[in-house]
């Protein structure tokens, strides 16, 4: 069965893409060993510097295959509200007291979140998102 495609890679772009396919065919990743090979291939491509169109296409496809396997077999739990707040405070270099002063949030609420006793409220999310200059969806992951 042959499939006609809307695009073609020609010349150096096509040759580099086919070489990468020969080295590691693009197929669903089914094992940890295959995942390790895919990571090595990705590392080589990313270390290469500027990529041609064929290399970019291969990199995109292989990245999708790796992400799919890792999402299924190595899922990462979202960070807790306490971990998120601690990270943003450390990154900005502010203390609980300074955060309370700058945002108007009660010190007790900040302490309770950091201790894992309380989750972010919707109002707290909006205030912290504005203060740390991040999208509210970053802080609302646990709602």
Residue 31 gets which letter from DSSP? S
CA 93 from chain centre, in angstroms, equals 24
Query: Which of 31, 46, 73 is the last residue in one of the domains?
Result: 73
Backbone φ and ψ for 113, nearest 5 degrees, come out as -65, -45
Q: Is residue 3 part of a domain?
A: no
Q: What is the pTM of this model?
A: 0.57
pLDDT, tens digit only, all 143 positions of the chain: 555 555 677 888 889 999 999 999 999 999 999 999 999 999 999 998 899 999 999 999 999 999 999 999 998 888 899 999 999 999 999 999 999 999 999 999 999 999 999 999 999 999 999 999 999 998 987 77
Domain of residue 17, residue span = 11-73
> What's the number of CA atoms in the CB half-sphere (13 Å) around residue 90?
7
Backbone angles phi, psi at 92, to 5 degrees: -90, -15
Residues 39 and 88 in one domain: no
Q: Is residue 123 part of a domain?
A: yes
């Amino acid at each position: 069965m042959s499939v006609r495609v809307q695009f073609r890679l020609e010349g150096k772009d096509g040759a580099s893409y086919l070489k990468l396919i020969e080295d590691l065919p693009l197929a669903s990743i089914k094992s940890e060993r295959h995942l390790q090979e895919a990571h090595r291939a990705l590392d080589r491509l990313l270390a290469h510097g500027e990529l041609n169109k064929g290399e970019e296409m291969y990199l995109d496809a292989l990245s999708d295959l790796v992400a799919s396997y890792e999402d299924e077999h190595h899922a990462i739990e979202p960070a807790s509200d306490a971990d998120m707040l601690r990270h943003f405070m450390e990154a900005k270099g502010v203390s609980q007291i300074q955060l309370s002063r700058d945002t108007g949030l009660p010190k007790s609420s900040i302490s309770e979140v950091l201790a894992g006793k309380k989750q972010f409220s919707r109002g707290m999310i909006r205030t912290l998102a504005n203060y740390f200059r991040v999208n509210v969806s970053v802080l609302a992951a646990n709602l």
